[in-house]
A and B are shown apart, each in its own frame.
Chain A
Amino acid sequence: MSASSASRVLIGKVGLDGHDRGVKVVARILRDAGFEVIYTGLFQTPATIAAAAVDEDVDLVGLSMLSGAHMTLAPAVVAELRARGCNAPVVVGGIIPAQHIQRLKDAGVAAVLTPGAPADQVVAVVRQVLDDAAALH
């Protein structure tokens, strides 16, 4: 078992998007894989996500985004986290067009998961991102 398995992960919905099927499925996948999962619920802002990440002292933040607002909101979450001195990496999952993936990474998002990503890929990506972050800090 990787050292990162017991990590604390905050999974959130930012903005006005109410689609919560994916976020709940991913939360359960991560919980079943041994992570400690905190789900924020709907309608969070970048500031409330970042504040919760700090309060809960999480190792990673996962955002589920299906409304098309990812290019505005995901970088804003990264900025709010860093402004609070939180280095937790951010992973985005949802309806993300291929041409946006690199731009999100340039804006500080660690990884992007797109529709159809199987459970083992979700877990592997989260572990990889956590290992990379641990190596950096």
Chain B
Amino acid sequence: MSNSREIWQQAFEASATREADYSTMSGVPLEPVYGQADGAGEYPGQFPFTRGPYASMYRSKLWTMRMFAGFGTADDTNWRFKEIIKSGGDGLSTAFDMPTLLGLDSDDPMSLGEVGRCGVAIDTLADMEDLYAGIDLGATTTSMTINSPAAPIFAMFIAQAEKAGTTRARLGGTLQNDILKEYQAQKEFVFPPRQSMRLVRDTISFTAAEMPRWHSVSISGYHIREAGSTAAEELAFTLANGFAYVELAMKAGLPIDSFAPRLSFFFNAHIDFFEEIAKYRAARRIWARWLRERYGAQLERSLQLRFHTQTAGVSLTAQQPEVNIVRTAIEALAGVLGGTQSLHTNSMDEAMALPTEKSARIALRTQQVIAYETNVAHVADPLGGSYFVEALTDEMERQAEELFAHLDALGGGSLLEGCIRGIEENWFQGRIADSAFDLERKINRGDRVVVGVNRFTEGNDDSSMELLEITNEDEARQLKRLDVVRHDRNQAAIDEVLARLAAEAADPEVNLMPCLIEAAGAYASLGEIMGAMGSVFGRHVEVPVI
């Protein structure tokens, strides 16, 4: 009978590894992982994956340096994407502007002043074509941060790629498509929760059948944390949402192992270094146990939680913004020591504006320093076995289980129902706001130090940093583009496909993805598509509570 170390060794030897000098700077050779002297205990790539999803971790492949970008028109962002690829970034991540996030066209009256401001404006397939022009979508992976209109934007993406000659089966990437956290935290919702979940179900079913390289949902704690939750709440709410999507797809008749491997996660990397690392380790362990024990998953890929990390935007200060480079580096390091599969590092100027090209480059360079200078990626789960980190990992898991128990009871034995009820009853929203206010009071009392904000404020007067300015010209250009598309397309075809979309939306048994792809291909606008579905689904209105 082999011990865990020997089992790990076999798995490691079966993995491809990167060429690198795996020793310290002074020449001490480094093992790919360290463990107990007797070879027992958990190793990376072994259930419940506390120590990492894979045996070889970064020795096979460094994390993907996936920098989030988007501003102005599709042309502007296409240019920034090409800069990122040139600078050594290896995955694209698309930020959409507010109107797009809410499924509105740029010429909607509510879009005034918001077009292209904090992301790229996408109205029709024509914009999507410009956005990825000249980029080989079969060779790079693309992530799209879109939720309420995730299905129609995804449809535009597929229509665009296929028009450019890449079949949908070859497309690799991630759709955020995590609607539950929108109601809980990010608040970019359109349709009511239950109707929105139907669209999530349709995308999960569609990708499970037709797009083997695509991650259908990126279950996101990032926004929950940014909205003010604690680390344990981020962990618990995110995984609970993950269980809800699992139950949703299983209810639709999909076998768990047909879709669970394509669910991925997205966590925050905040400034409390060890707590963050413990959070990632606990997340992997909880997911593996719940998927196997509660949902009956058997495939290893279904049990292995894989995640993207972004450093904490909310930890950035407008005061002495250069210090944000240091915060981001520490947070990014936590993500790497926690075993992240991809990473976005924020830029120092993001407490004031979207990043300039220079500040975005420094943020990418920060990852490259960690990857190539520090040697921290040589050894998997380097903090595993630390009394402190193991105890903190257990504590994160314990706190999360308490929150799952509450949601399970709320949903009468269903996490899907528990999460939706928790939203409808404002339970998540209230907890997050309470935690945000607690932290604010600690900062105000000086119990929690924020350099440049409540301590060490000398130098705060220097506001010489150059910031990216988005002009109203982008909005004007986008409106003109949209006008041209509306003029050039076949209106009868649009009317026909939109009527069919509304009819299909009214039948909950139909998968809307094929009709959405058709509508996108006819150059129906996002606002028109959302309007057709909205005529059936209605709108979500949040009861405002302080």
Q: Which of A's residues lie within 8 Å of B, judged by CB?
A: 15-21, 24-25, 27-29, 31, 37, 39-43, 45, 67-69, 71-73, 76, 95-99, 114-116, 118-120
Contact = CB atoms under 8 A, between A and B. Distances in A.
Interface in B347-405: 351-354
A99 B467 contact: yes
28 contacts: A15-B113, A16-B98, A16-B104, A16-B188, A19-B187, A21-B226, A21-B227, A21-B433, A37-B546, A39-B544, A39-B545, A42-B187, A67-B114, A68-B470, A69-B117, A72-B114, A95-B353, A96-B352, A97-B467, A99-B467, A115-B317, A115-B352, A116-B318, A116-B351, A116-B450, A116-B452, A116-B453, A118-B453
Interface residues of B, number: 51
A31 B353 CA distance: 29
B186 A16 contact: no
A99 B349 CA distance: 14
Contacts of A21: 226-228, 314, 432-433, 436
A28 B437 contact: yes
A69 B437 contact: no
Contacts of A39: 544-546
B117 A68 contact: yes
Q: Which 6 A-B pairs have the closest CB atoms?
A: A72-B113, A41-B544, A18-B187, A68-B117, A16-B98, A69-B113
Contacts of B228: 21, 25
Contacts of B498: none
Nearest to B228: A21
A118 B319 CA distance: 12
B518 to A, nearest CB: 28
B476 interface: no
Q: Which of A16, A28, A37, A71 has the most CB of B within 10 A?
A: A16
Contact of A42 (B99, B444, B544): B544
B443 A118 contact: yes
A28 B114 contact: no
B497 to A, nearest CB: 26
Contacts of B444: 118-120
A15 B114 contact: yes
Nearest to B350: A95
A16 B101 contact: yes
B319 A98 contact: no
B113 A17 contact: no
Q: Which of B109, B113, B228, B545 has the most CB of A within 10 A?
A: B113
A29 B450 CA distance: 19
B433 A24 contact: yes
B227 A20 contact: yes
B463 A98 contact: yes
A37 B544 CA distance: 12
Interface in B276-333: 314, 316-319
Given A15-B113, A95-B351, A116-B450, A41 B542 contact: yes
A97 B113 contact: no
Q: Which of B432, B444, B543, B544 has the most CB of A within 10 A?
A: B544
A18 B227 CA distance: 10
B167 interface: no
Given A27-B546, A37-B546, A116-B319, A18 B114 contact: no
Interface string B88-130: 0000000000110110100001111110011000000000000
A98 B352 CA distance: 8
A73 B129 CA distance: 31
Interface in B436-463: 436-437, 440-441, 443-444, 450, 452-454, 463
Q: Which of B118, B352, B467, B546 has the most CB of A within 10 A?
A: B546
A68 B353 contact: yes
A31 B546 contact: yes
B437 A25 contact: yes
Given A18-B189, A21-B432, A28-B546, 12 more contacts: A16-B104, A16-B188, A25-B440, A39-B544, A42-B544, A45-B109, A67-B114, A68-B114, A68-B118, A69-B113, A118-B444, A118-B453
Nearest to A99: B467
A25 B98 contact: no
A40 B472 CA distance: 27
A21 B544 CA distance: 12
Interface in B7-39: none
A119 B440 contact: yes
A42 B102 CA distance: 12
B227 A16 contact: no
Nearest to A114: B318
Contacts of A76: 113
Contacts of A114: 318
Contacts of B102: 16
A18 to B, nearest CB: 3
Contacts of B114: 15-17, 67-69, 72
